[in-house]
A = this chain, B = another copy of it.
Amino acid sequence: MKHFHYTKIDEKKVDAFGSKETSIRVFISEEEAPNFIMRRFEIKPQGQIGVHSHDWEHEIFILSGEVDLINENGEKEKVSDGEFVYIPPNEPHGYINEGNETVAFICMIPKQKK
């Protein structure tokens, strides 16, 4: 087994889909992961990940803060720490942080999906 604090992983800027003020830390490499990959995101106040979709699902757990999920019609739903989020394959989704606190969440993807 191996373990380490999340801050030991390089934090990388996310800029796909018009994203702003967002970073990702990927905990396990695609080479090492047999089935799925755990990542930790942070979105700062006024930051966002633009609406996009892909043919794989997300399972998300909100660690701290609050964020709006955005659907393909631009409609928003607020989620906050302690919430689980499931986004099915091919469903357009984005995130915007309209609060004053950085939001942090775990977001899982299957292996070989980015």
Residues on A facing B (Cβ under 8 Å)? 1-7, 9, 27-28, 32-38, 40, 56-57, 59, 61, 63, 69, 71, 77, 79, 82-89, 91, 93, 106, 108, 110
Contact = CB atoms under 8 A, between A and B. Distances in A.
Nearest to A85: B3
Contact of A35 (B1, B2, B35, B82): B35
Contacts of A5: 82-84
A106 B34 CA distance: 18
B106 A61 contact: yes
Among the interface residues A3, A85, A93, which one has the most CB atoms of the partner chain B within 10 A? A3
Given A4-B83, A59-B28, A84-B27, A108 B34 contact: no
Contacts of A91: 1
Among the interface residues A6, A27, A36, which one has the most CB atoms of the partner chain B within 10 A? A36
